[in-house]
Amino acid sequence: MKTVYSKLANLIAVLVVGMLLFAPMRFGSEDTLYAHPRSIRMNPGDSYPLTYRLDADNPAQAIRYSSANPAVADVDAGGTVTAVGPGQTQILLDSDSGAKARVQIEVVSPHTATLALNTDRMTMEKGQVTGLRAIFDDGAENTLVQWSSENERVARVDAVGRVSAVGGGRTRITATAMNGLSASADINVHVTGNAMRITPEDVHLGVGSTLRLGTNYIPADTTDVVARWTSNNESVLRVQRDGTLQAVAEGEAVLSAFSSEGLGASTLVKVEPPVADFEVSPSAATIKRGNTLALEPRFFDAQGNIDANSSSHLVNWTSSNPSVASVEDGVVTAIRTGSARISAAADGMIASSVINVQTIVEEIRLNLHQMYVLREQTVMPIQLEAELIPADADDKRLTWSADNDLVATVNQRGLVELVGGYGTATITVKAASGAQAQFVVNVVASLPEGVASQE
């Protein structure tokens, strides 16, 4: 019996010692910390909140966060990770009981798509055809572009970037990708000139006048420019680098222009005595849209008489509103309703004429022209409709009248009332411009042969 009790006591002792030896290991392994997610891929500046699960007898433990490399990604006390710069690092989680977890962080630079052309500027000769190529970065998925030209009179571009030089000048060719990226190239189309002339030619001026001359080229789209102006008699005529000449004294001088590509042109300029005054006649006028009016420049001597000898002096004409009235060599063309001041500059003086353009009613068309009505049918009124030509006339007011109110009357809306008497009445509609149209109504006892009853 003693032996049994002795063995039982020894067994209990062994169990107690074992429990004491293995307890720390068992209790420590009971707390487990899980982080979510286990790994994150981020761009610089992005933020992401971590979550966790703690399996422990005491789950209300504080969790501490730290970054192995804050230069790549940092983490705040609440577990929000912020990507700082490209690279890899780990976010460490620690509990009070010593449980740990790790989150793998990779910070990558965001992919930035780029689009460029194989050149940003190009010089071409008129008639030449060449190509532009759109270049995307290696990561681009859609390389489809649309091509466009700012000025197709200079250069055109087709759907594959082939550029055709059409005329002299400059334009910009642009390739636009589906994602909105674009790239452009400046195109300069060169055109060699065959000839040039000075404009205006054979000029007559009064002493003291100034005038800026220009040049025309053949072909018209020549890209050549004037490099130098000269006068063969500077005591009579002086010329500045931009082509502005000054009449110094009476006489004649030959004015010449030379282009940067070797073309030249000359014109004779006559300088005559100055005039005392200058005007344009008429000083004001009203003209219909589409019509023209020739303005007359008048030069006067010191006694106030018209100086016929100066009538050949050059006059420069301009319009303050070319969309209303344009002018060329003193002939005004009325374009649309409005006002414009036509100015004339001659011998250092300016005169003007105020032009008012009106759009008037040129024609009136009625929906009915003539009607026969039986007397028993006169109870029904007749509505006339007037169409104005042009429809956008300034004054659209109309006046209606009837010449026989024993047969019919008409109100100012074109409604004709048949009074009941036999006979004929003519209804007239007039516009303020004088345009008019007429409607004739005949009230009869019986209809003429071939005329249908108006019901």
> What pLDDT was estimated at residue 193?
94
> What pLDDT was estimated at residue 13?
55
Single out the residue of 320, 388, 312, 390 nearest to residue 353, CA to CA: 320
Give the CA radius of gyration of the chain. 48
> What pLDDT was estimated at residue 28?
44
Cβ distance 441 to 416 under 8 Å? Answer: yes
CA angle, 399 then 405 then 407, to 5°: 120
- What contacts 395, CB < 8 A, 6 or more positions away? 360, 361, 431, 432, 433
pLDDT in tens, 311-356: 889 899 999 999 999 999 999 999 999 999 999 999 888 999 999 9
- Kindly report the pTM of this predicted structure: 0.58
> What pLDDT was estimated at residue 138?
73
Residue numbers of the chain with a pLDDT score lower than 70? 1-29, 111-112, 139, 452-455
Residues forming beta bridges with residue 83, ordered by sequence position = 73
Residues forming beta bridges with residue 268, ordered by sequence position = 254
**3-state secondary structure string, the chain?**
CHHHHHHHHHHHHHHHHHHHHHHHHHHHCCCEEEEECCEEEECCCCEEECEEEEECCCCCCCEEEEECCCCCEEECCCCEEEECCCEEEEEEEEECCCCEEEEEEEECCCCCCCEEECCCEEEEECCCEEECCEEECCCCCCCCEEEEECCCCCEEECCCCEEEECCCEEEEEEEEECCCCEEEEEEEEECCCCEEEEECCCEEEECCCEEECEEEEECCCCCCCEEEEEECCCCCEEECCCCEEEECCCEEEEEEEEECCCCEEEEEEEEECCCCEEEEECCEEEEECCCEEECEEEEECCCCCECHHHCCCCCEEEECCCCCEEEECCEEEECCCEEEEEEEEECCEEEEEEEEEECCCCEEEECCCEEEEEHHHCCCCEECCEEEECCCCCCCCEEEEECCCCCEEECCCCEEEECCCCEEEEEEEEECCCCEEEEEEEEECCCCCCCCCCC
pLDDT in tens, 172-192: 999 999 888 899 999 999 999
Average pLDDT value for the chain: 89
> What pLDDT was estimated at residue 452?
65
> What pLDDT was estimated at residue 8?
53
